[in-house]
Amino acid sequence: MNEDRPAVLVDLPTSIRGFCYHDNEGESYIVLNARLTREQNLHTFDHEREHIDLGEMYDTSYLEYGGAS
């Protein structure tokens, strides 16, 4: 894992691998599912880091997997 981004492990439903968010001060965080393997979390960390690096967290129209309309 790249240590330049804060990451936390949280027990999430297994259908959720992880997500990223930013706080009120603009600091970005990556939340990983503690129920998944280290390998899965490494992959998810890199995936979420890419979202942050591309600035997709600030695009209110971006929705990766769809959702409620």
Per-residue tokens: 53: 């690096």
Residue 49 lies in a domain: yes
Write down the pLDDT at residue 4. 66
3-state secondary structure (DSSP) of residue 41 = helix
Bridge partner residues of 28 (DSSP): 22
Residue pLDDT tens, the chain, 69 long: 445 667 999 999 999 999 988 888 888 899 999 999 999 999 999 999 998 888 877 766 666 665 544
Write down the pLDDT at residue 2. 45
Domain that holds residue 24: 7-58
Residue 66 lies in a domain: no
Bridge partner residues of 33 (DSSP): 10
Residue 65 lies in a domain: no
Strands 28-33 and 7-10: parallel
Per the structure, the count of domains in the chain is: 1
Residue 67 lies in a domain: no
Q: Which of 62, 67, 65, 68 is nearest to 18 (CA)?
A: 65
